Every structure is written in C-alpha cells, then in structure tokens.
C-alpha cells in the first residue's frame, strides 16, 4: 500500500456516517473493496482506521506474543477492544459505530487525517486542541525523533 497523505475537514451525518473525502478515496481506491478496521487510539481520544492489509500485518505481529504472559493477554485485549470491521459503501460513506463515536467525542464536525499507513478520525475541536498543544514542544520532539545525525536511520 502507498503511504497516505492529507488532512480533511468533514462532517458526520445524524446516522454517524462519514463521507470519505474524494482525494482520500482516490489514494485508497485499490484497497477499498478489502474493507477496514476501525478502533480506538491508544494515545489520543480519536479513532484509527486501518486498511485491512495493514491490520492483518499488525495482527500477525501481535500473534507472535506469548499468550501465556498475562501482560501480553491484557495488551491484546485492550488493544483490540471495540475494534470493528467497517466498509465504505457504494456512496463513499463509512459508518462510525456508536460506541466508537462516544469514545472519541465525535460530533458533527470532524477531521480525517492521514498518519502514514492509517487514518485518524477526530472530533474537529479535539484535533485542533491536540495540534495546538503539541505545537509548544514540537521542535524539541522533531529534533529528538528525526534529528539523529549519528544514526543512519535519521532523516537529515
């Protein structure tokens, strides 16, 4: 799968359906028929939409965890809690299940943002707050994560 790009302001209708942005649908066109998994984010009050192929890769990694260790079982249970298989319908809409809407405080106005190989779905106000909060220390974070000039994996 190609890496995803873009941030889009969208609306959710009264039934909890999101009209996928045309530019995003175009990027996902080859994998739309495979479906997606929608789940709670670990670190933020948002949702993560995994293309089915990306979800399968992640589940294969998690399947290698020793399930006779309690912390591994606890992690798997909590990571997959509330995960739902979802599809984009023929009209280009994605239904966000009610329990996930409640978790992410999704109202009418949302932001759909690419995050490399997955898509984040945010309530618009919470997204803007998270971006504003992160702006304060983003330069320090960028230097720490990406500014490793002594490591071949750093991008500089």
Q: What is the 3-state secondary structure (H, E, C) of 73-136?
A: HHHHHHHHCCCEEECECCCCEEECCHHHHHHCCCCCEEEEEEECCEEEEEEHHHHHHHHHHHHC
CATH of the domain at 111: 3.40.1550.20
In a domain, residue 118? The reply is yes
Phi and psi based region of residue 77 (left: phi greater than 0; alpha: psi -120 to 50; beta: remaining): alpha
Task: Place 137 in a pLDDT band, splitting at 50, 70 and 90.
Answer: confident
pLDDT at 59: 96
Residue 85's pLDDT is: 97
In a domain, 151, yes or no: no
Residue 66 counted as domain residue: yes
Phi-psi domain of 144 (left: phi exceeds 0; alpha: psi -120 through 50; beta: other): alpha
Q: Is the pTM of this model over 0.75?
A: yes
Domain, as residue range, for 69: 7-146
Where does the chain show beta strands of DSSP type E? Answer: 7-11, 17-19, 36-40, 47-51, 84-86, 93-95, 109-115, 118-123
Domain-located, residue 156 = no
Q: Is residue 57 part of a domain?
A: yes
Q: Is residue 142 part of a domain?
A: yes
The answer to the question of residue 1 being in a domain is no
Residue 24, token pair as written in the block = 């995003």
Query: Is 62 within the bounds of a domain?
Result: yes
CB neighbours (10 Å) of residue 92? 15
* Confidence grade of residue 152 (pLDDT, cut at 50, 70, 90): low
Burial label, 47 (beta-carbon count in 10 A; 0-12, 13-18, 19+)? buried
- For the chain, what is the domain count? 1
């Amino acid at each position: 799968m190609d890496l995803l790009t873009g941030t889009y302001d969208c609306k959710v209708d009264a039934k909890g359906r999101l009209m996928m942005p045309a530019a995003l649908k175009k990027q996902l066109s080859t994998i739309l028929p495979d479906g997606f998994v929608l789940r709670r984010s670990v670190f933020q009050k948002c949702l993560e939409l995994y293309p089915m192929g990306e979800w399968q890769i992640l589940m294969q990694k998690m399947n290698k965890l020793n399930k006779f260790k309690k912390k591994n079982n606890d992690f798997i249970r909590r990571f997959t809690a509330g995960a739902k298989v979802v599809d984009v319908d023929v009209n280009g809409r994605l239904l966000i299940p009610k329990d996930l809407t409640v978790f992410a405080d999704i109202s009418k106005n949302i932001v759909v943002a690419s995050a490399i190989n997955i898509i984040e779905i945010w309530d618009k106000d919470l997204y803007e707050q998270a971006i504003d909060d992160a702006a304060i220390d983003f330069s320090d974070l960028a230097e720490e994560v990406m500014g490793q000039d002594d490591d071949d994996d750093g991008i500089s």
